[in-house]
Amino acid sequence: MIAYYGYIKALHLIFMVAWFAGLFYMPRLFIYHIEAGARPQAEGKVLSDQFRIMERRLWYIITWPAAVLCTFFALWLLWINPALLQQGWMHLKLGFIALLFAYHGKTHQMYLRFQGDDIRYTSDFMRIWNEGATLVLFAVVFLAVLKSSLQWLYGLAGLFVLGGLLMLGIRAYKKVRERKG
């Protein structure tokens, strides 16, 4: 089985990329869906209908299958190499993966509301929400590549700095949009 480890790892990474692609794009579709509501009624309805179709296809054809397959291949890797579970960096990584599943679950709840045109969020909120997956991605990739849990405080501080920079970027973009709008 160890002979196939590299192939299994490659499949895990491919489906991780697809999963994150879905998690990055879904909030962006939500933003467009929200902003369609500000359009004239006929135009807004056509756009909302189209966004519901796009959201459904993205969520059920790409995001969910990728999440399941990414998890399947990750569990297979851990089954082949259970020594990974003895390493501190893996514990931290699994903690961030738990956060990712929580993020995915909450995004699924949002998806269901958007499908029913029960929109309870602002586009500004969704722009901030969109960065949640980014923070988890940074944490997981750095842990997997550097395999260092000893310096997790530095990593955590780096995540806060990254989060702050993302918030500043969102605020700057909002100001630019307000000037143009």
Query: Residue 84's CB: how many other CB atoms inside 10 A?
Result: 15
Distance (Å, rounded) from C-alpha 63 to C-alpha 59?
A: 5
**What is the signed CA dihedral for 179, 26, 138, 154, rounded to 10 degrees?**
70
Distance (Å, rounded) from C-alpha 116 to C-alpha 45?
A: 13
**Which residue, among 67, 166, 174, has the nearest Cα to 111 in the 3D structure?**
67
Cα distances (angstroms) measured from residue 111 to each of 44, 50, 126, 132, 135: 18, 14, 12, 16, 21
Q: Which residue has the tokens 């722009």?
A: 127
User: Is 91 marked as a binding-site residue?
Assistant: no
* Token pair of 57 as six digits: 């296809």
Contact of 162 with 119, CB cutoff 8 Å: no
User: Is 12 marked as a binding-site residue?
Assistant: yes
Q: Give the list of residues 6+ apart from residue 67 with CB closer than 8 angstroms, or none.
A: 15, 19, 22, 104
* Token pair of 117 as six digits: 């045109």
Residues annotated in a binding site: 12, 93
Residues annotated in a binding site for heme: 12, 93
